[in-house]
Amino acid sequence: MKSLDEISRLSAEDLERIGADESIPIPEDLPSRVYSAVSGRSRRVKIGSIAAAAAVVLAGGFFLSRQPSPKDTFDDPYLAYAAVEKALAMVEGKVSKSIDKVEQASVPIEKVYYWK
C-alpha cells in the first residue's frame, strides 16, 4: 500500500492508470462503507451546527435580558452639562498626551541605508 506522500507525488495519468487497473480487488461493501462514513460525518456536522446555533441564541437571549435600562442620573441640566464638559476635557487631555508621544516617536529619517 502506498503512503499518502507517495500518492500525492503521482501524476494524473498514473492515477487514471491505477484506477483503471481491474486486477486491484475492490471490496463489495465499499459504496455502503463510503456512504456511512460520509453520512456519519455530515450528521455530526449538522448536530454540531445545531448545537452552536442554540448556544448563540441562548447567549444572545441571556445578554439581552440582563442588560439594564439606562437611567437619568442628573435632574439639573447644568450639572449634566458640567459632567459632560469634565468628561470631554479628560478625553482631550489623553488624546493630546498620545499625540505628543507619537510626535516624539516619529523622528524624521535623514538617511536611508540600502543593503546589497
What pLDDT score does 115 carry?
A: 67
Instruction: Please give the tally of structural domains in the chain.
Output: 1
Residue 111 lies in a domain: no
What phi and psi values does residue 71 have, to the nearest 5 degrees? -110, 155
Residue 48 lies in a domain: yes
Residue 93 lies in a domain: yes
Convert the pLDDT of each residue in 47-70 to its tens digit. Answer: 778 888 888 888 888 877 776 666
pTM recorded for the entire structure:
0.31
- Full domain range(s) for residue 43: 8-105
Report DSSP state, residue 24.
S
Q: In this structure, which amino acid lies at residue 110?
A: E
What phi and psi values does residue 67 have, to the nearest 5 degrees? -75, 120
Residues lower than pLDDT 50 in the chain:
none
Residues whose CB is less than 8 angstroms from the CB of residue 83 and which lie 6 or more positions away in sequence, other chains included = 74
Residue 2 lies in a domain: no
How far apart CA 91 and CA 85 sit, in angstroms, is: 10
Residue 59 lies in a domain: yes
